[in-house]
Amino acid sequence: MNQRKPIIAGNWKMHKTLDEAIAAARRIVEITGDVTEVEVLIAPPFTALSAVAAVIRNSSVQLGGQNLFWEQKGAYTGEIAADMLRSCGCQYVIIGHSERRQFFGETDETVNRRISAALKGGLVPILCIGETETQREAGQTFSVLDKQVRKGLEGFFAHDLASLVIAYEPVWAIGTGKTASSDQAQEVHRYLRDLMAKAYGNALANSIRILYGGSVKPSNVRELMSMPDLDGALVGGASLDPQSFGQLVHYQ
């Protein structure tokens, strides 16, 4: 039986002013206050982290950053370090999101360095991986994911990765309205769990939480989450409205 506690994580991306973020966080706390069987996480923009942390402080809602740099400090204009995220109240950080890879030159190698920085800084990294539509149509899904996982986690041992979360987000399903079927998602999640077992052993493979992301919404979340190897969702658009996000959290 699956003993892994699911995570429903909202990635707000480049949305919400400070006041909007505070209001949304307050509403999410109200809507999800009675939830204990699911871990609730929101990742606001950097400008709202401290304010949102104050709003959720006495709730079960967790806070995450959307990215981090691999150095602790220095002349890196526009970047943010693990300690800075921690000081704002973050417990998690999203790393390697497809939009970071697509628009900002993120690579498997830089993802690896960011994961190292997150772990050293006491943050739980959420490693995002996924194939494009062209890669899926070419039958390259598993080879792409294999490379992203192996390169992204190169140099780590099983004990290093005890807190790691993986988020499978097929690029063709992010913000497009397209969603992997529950069977497609389960097939990939099973592959990823088997891949982790071969690389790091069954104990880590059985305990690691693997989230699905890609046009998850209230109408499809229950079916997706019914799959045995799906341990929650990393949600974009549907997390921006607290009511919609609350429905996702209450999927059970």
Output the average pLDDT for the chain. 96
Mean pLDDT across 60-77? 98
Domain hosting 86: range is: 7-249
In a domain, 72, yes or no: yes
Q: Are the C-beta atoms of residues 196 and 236 closer than 8 Å to each other?
A: no
In a domain, 25, yes or no: yes
In a domain, 28, yes or no: yes
Catalytic residue among 39, 99, 131, 169: 169
In a domain, 2, yes or no: no
Q: Kindly state the greatest CA–CA separation across the chain.
A: 49
User: Is residue 97 annotated as a catalytic residue, yes or no?
Assistant: yes
What is the share, in percent, of the chain residues with pLDDT greater than 70?
99
Domain count, the chain: 1
The Cα–Cα gap between 42 and 30 comes to 14
In a domain, 1, yes or no: no
In a domain, 245, yes or no: yes
Output the pLDDT for position 33: 85
User: Is residue 169 annotated as a catalytic residue, yes or no?
Assistant: yes
Model pTM score: 0.96
Catalytic residue among 39, 97, 131, 189: 97
What pLDDT, in 10s, does the model give residues 143-162? 999 999 999 999 999 999 99
* Residue 1 binned pLDDT confidence (cut-offs 50, 70, 90): very low
CATH of the domain at 15: 3.20.20.70
The Cα–Cα gap between 97 and 250 comes to 25
In a domain, 14, yes or no: yes
How many Cβ atoms sit within 10 Å of the Cβ of residue 46?
16
Output the pLDDT for position 173: 83
